[in-house]
Structure 1
Amino acid sequence: MGDPTSNANQSLRFLHCADLHIDSPLRGLEAYEGAPVERLRSATRESFENLITLAVRERVAFVVIAGDLFDGKWQDIQTGLWTAAQFRRLEREEIPVYLLRGNHDAASEVRQRVRWPDNVREFSVEQPETIIDAKTGFALHGQGFTTREVLEDLAANYPDPVPDTLNIGVLHTSLTGDPNHDSYAATTEDVLKLRGYDYWALGHVHNRRTVHDDPTIIFPGNTQGRHIHERGAKGCVLVSVSDGHISRVDFEATDTLRWHQAIVEMVLDDQIEQLYVSVSNKLHQCREESDGRFAAVRLWIRGACRCHSDLMTQSIREEVVTEIRNMANSISDVWVEKIKFDTSAPVDVEALRSGNDLMGDLLALIDEFAAGDNEQLLELSEHLKPLQDKAQGDLLQAGIDLSDPETIRRWLGDSERLLVGMIRDE
């Protein structure tokens, strides 16, 4: 690791971000009732504007973008023109940008059709490259993606650190793997540490994570959540350098819309009116936790309760869904993306399952299939093939795949709750 004597008295900050996915198309939004489509689709642009404003306000030395500035091929040239205009805001403040291509904006995916302003420097996609920042003298090392699928360990071939200055590695990678992301440019923490750099600016994994403290290895996460699996605050990190060393790293939110999953726990005597009160409280809580941003909420209503049988009746459930959406509309900047029901009747299901009667046999059979492996569930799905053939269009539109073992397992759970609910009604 370098001993940055030439910059020993410097105290400054740089901004590290990744996975901006500007103009991500977010297909299928129209299928969601009451979805604020334009607000959702404009969120990636607004978060990038927030990031640029942050960089200018904090007078950062430079901005590092560790891949996936874009989501893929531009829908039209306006994406490039708009992005160039944002880079010019930094150029006017004499703030350089060091840009690396990731899997979504690889050279084969996004062709450069708009010339970036002179303050933007893009890392080579052909081989590892070292760029020396003119003002600070810091060395930045990186290599972008030529194609969407880069399977080799790029970091293993990064250059040796430049002596007597701060060294920053810029890399778009899955590291040793992440269940929510494809494995690209995979490498290990040990490989990164052995390069001898002071800081690794990573991208690709959308959850913010500090991999290692010394040297500092960080995934900043994406700058804007785009769906329910990207919940919570999203943004970038401001990296402070004092006496030539990394002194602290601060997260800064840039998102303009925040995703939440709110669990509403029902209790034994709860009726539908109590459900509405609990949902209202959760929606207000999500709004507060969004810190003034728009809140997109998925509700999960669960628990054993008196109103379970009502909620299993389609007409009543539709009324409840409508009223919940009506409640959300009365709260400023809140939208309910989806409502999931996972309630049950307040009965002893295990006692029913062990009973020597038809109900016990049915529940035991459901439990046996639900606990089975995927192969057993696929055998069961074969019996549903006539339904698949008859209603293929409707099932496809509803997003139901009867060849998917998890769908079958979920339906088995629903059927158990229906059976138990029928016992309760009797």
Structure 2
Amino acid sequence: MSSVKFIHAADLHLDSPFSGLKDMPPSLLKEIRESPFKAFQKMINEAIFHQVDFIVLSGDLFDGENRSLRTQVRFRSEMEKLQQHQIPAFIIHGNHDHLSGSWVTVELPGNVQVFSGQTEVKLFQKSDGTSVHLYGFSYPRRHVTERMIETYIKAEGADYHIGLLHGNLEGNSEHSPYAPFSLKELCAKDFDYWALGHIHKHQVVSENPLVIYPGNIQGRNRKESGVKGCLLVELDGDTKRHSFIETSGVIWESETIKISADSNFDAMYKVCKDVLEKKRFDGRCYLLEIKLDIVGSVNYYGEILEELTRILQDEEQGESFVWLYRIKIIQPISVVSSREKITSFVAEISMLASEFEDIETALAPLYKQPGARRFLDSLEVEEQQELLDEAERWLLQAFESKGYL
């Protein structure tokens, strides 16, 4: 028995729409929308460079259930590159690219093995006889909430055992509870490696057994910040090695700056510009959010920040771009004294805003629209609170501008 070496990636989300980037020059927007494909190409090139035995893709290769022909053809081209180097690909589909979608099928080369809608075992064998059993299933429909982990049964007769699973580790409440499982259940299967997918943040769940979420290969929004990539894994008897390979060509990041409340426009302009210049010196491409931690009471920066953002955007140029998509204030505005002077009507509106919790119900009609839901992710608790805080802030500013405060 010799070692086996492979690439593990998940959540490619090819052809992601990247909605919400307003006022961006077409050339930069094109570069951003192309970034998932470039990240995927880099991953394939890394697989060839490291001469891996195979690759595993653990779900959500495509962003939508009705994958486009163009995206499928581009995916096939990368699989053909692997085939030229005799590298197989083992693939499961997840909740985004489940098998019940409607699309024109593009035939994939013979080195690609796609798991069906029921858990099955596939065999990989090296020329020296070393064998690997790979276990997995593709989502037959979008919502799979059953404990599919119970269907993974170890088949004897292989040197190594690898499970592919697109699902949610119990205890993680931030993501949809698809195909839930616990670490105890994974350990009980006695596999050598669990190639997980679904969570877009790189996470080593366990070293023994080795259980890893690689995260997605390219961040698609501000929630998916930081460097993204895939994993190079080597199983050598009882020894297991893994290393992270960066693939993201565009990085979402957030920088916090502390400034005084009495800072004038030029001071804010300089401190923001300095941040952009430091990022630009890095040589990478960034989508950047600047958070202003303002020392002192502030109640008038809204329009200034919008203008400052546009000015800094206008100055952006070059191949290694740093696009400032937002400047926001993170220190809550002190409104205690203002609320004391607000009319009973405004006070009631403010109270309703602070007590309103059922945002999901309010947004439900939007998420039910077929044309809109493919561009929308569910709102996390932090984002819901941000919406409420921002609405209250604008309400107070509006009444202040009318002289009601």
Aligned counterpart, 2:325 = 337
2:71 is the alignment partner of 1:79: yes
1:65 touches 1:99 (CA, 8 Å); kept in 2? yes
Identify which of 163, 166, 179 aligns with 1:185.
Answer: 179
SS of corresponding position for 2:326: strand
2:163 touches 2:195 (CA, 8 Å); kept in 1? yes
> How far is the alpha carbon of 1:89 from its aligned partner?
0.6
Identify which of 412, 415, 418 aligns with 2:392.
Answer: 412
Aligned counterpart, 1:294 = 285
2:164 touches 2:196 (CA, 8 Å); kept in 1? yes
Describe how 1:85-104 pairs up with structure 2 within 5 A: 85-104=77-96
Identify which of 161, 165, 169 aligns with 1:167.
Answer: 161
Identify which of 49, 54, 59 aligns with 2:51.
Answer: 59
* Alpha-carbon separation, structure 2, partners of 1:33 and 1:100: 35
Report how many aligned residue pairs link the two structures: 378
> How far is the alpha carbon of 1:14 from its aligned partner?
0.9
> How far is the alpha carbon of 1:161 from its aligned partner?
4.4
Opposite residue 319 of structure 1, the aligned amino acid is E
> How far is the alpha carbon of 1:298 from its aligned partner?
1.9
Opposite residue 25 of structure 2, the aligned amino acid is G
* Alpha-carbon separation, structure 1, partners of 2:344 and 2:90: 65
2:211 is the alignment partner of 1:220: no
2:100 is the alignment partner of 1:108: yes
Aligned CA distance change for structure 1 residues 110 and 213 (closer, same or farther; 3 Å): farther
Aligned counterpart, 2:309 = 321
Opposite residue 412 of structure 1, the aligned amino acid is E
2:255 is the alignment partner of 1:262: yes
Describe how 1:109-148 pairs up with structure 2 within 5 A: 109=101, 111=103, 113-125=105-117, 127-135=118-126, 136-148=130-142
> How far is the alpha carbon of 1:293 from its aligned partner?
2.8
1:22 touches 1:70 (CA, 8 Å); kept in 2? yes
> How far is the alpha carbon of 1:299 from its aligned partner?
2.2
2:232 touches 2:243 (CA, 8 Å); kept in 1? yes
1:260 touches 1:296 (CA, 8 Å); kept in 2? yes
Identify which of 230, 236, 239 aligns with 2:230.
Answer: 236
2:147 touches 2:181 (CA, 8 Å); kept in 1? yes
2:311 is the alignment partner of 1:311: no
* Alpha-carbon separation, structure 1, partners of 2:347 and 2:65: 51
> How far is the alpha carbon of 1:311 from its aligned partner?
2.6
Aligned counterpart, 1:204 = 198
* Alpha-carbon separation, structure 2, partners of 1:18 and 1:198: 18
2:273 is the alignment partner of 1:280: yes
Describe how 1:246-261 pairs up with structure 2 within 5 A: 246-261=239-254
Identity, % of aligned positions: 29
Opposite residue 411 of structure 1, the aligned amino acid is A
2:354 touches 2:388 (CA, 8 Å); kept in 1? no
2:309 touches 2:326 (CA, 8 Å); kept in 1? no
Alpha-carbon RMSD across the aligned residues, in angstroms, is 3.4
SS of corresponding position for 2:275: helix
> How far is the alpha carbon of 1:304 from its aligned partner?
3.4
Rg larger for: 1
2:253 touches 2:287 (CA, 8 Å); kept in 1? yes
1:161 touches 1:196 (CA, 8 Å); kept in 2? no
Structure 1: stretches of 5+ with no match in the other structure = 1-6, 382-403
2:20 is the alignment partner of 1:37: no
CA offsets 1:148-185 (integer angstroms, 9 cap, x no match): 11111111111224256111111110222644432211
SS of corresponding position for 1:266: strand
Opposite residue 339 of structure 1, the aligned amino acid is I
Structure 2: stretches of 5+ with no match in the other structure = 363-383
* Alpha-carbon separation, structure 2, partners of 1:89 and 1:18: 19
* Alpha-carbon separation, structure 1, partners of 2:113 and 2:318: 47
Aligned CA distance change for structure 1 residues 112 and 237 (closer, same or farther; 3 Å): farther
CA offsets 1:119-140 (integer angstroms, 9 cap, x no match): 1111121x22111212130111
1:61 touches 1:96 (CA, 8 Å); kept in 2? yes
* Alpha-carbon separation, structure 2, partners of 1:235 and 1:405: 30
CA offsets 1:47-66 (integer angstroms, 9 cap, x no match): 11000000000111110001
Aligned counterpart, 1:13 = 5
* Alpha-carbon separation, structure 1, partners of 2:269 and 2:402: 24
Aligned counterpart, 2:373 = none
> How far is the alpha carbon of 1:199 from its aligned partner?
0.7
SS of corresponding position for 2:83: helix
2:133 touches 2:158 (CA, 8 Å); kept in 1? no
> How far is the alpha carbon of 1:73 from its aligned partner?
3.8
Aligned CA distance change for structure 1 residues 47 and 330 (closer, same or farther; 3 Å): closer
* Alpha-carbon separation, structure 1, partners of 2:65 and 2:79: 19
Identify which of 39, 43, 52 aligns with 1:47.
Answer: 39
Aligned CA distance change for structure 1 residues 32 and 305 (closer, same or farther; 3 Å): farther
Opposite residue 324 of structure 2, the aligned amino acid is V
* Alpha-carbon separation, structure 1, partners of 2:290 and 2:220: 17
* Alpha-carbon separation, structure 2, partners of 1:214 and 1:343: 43
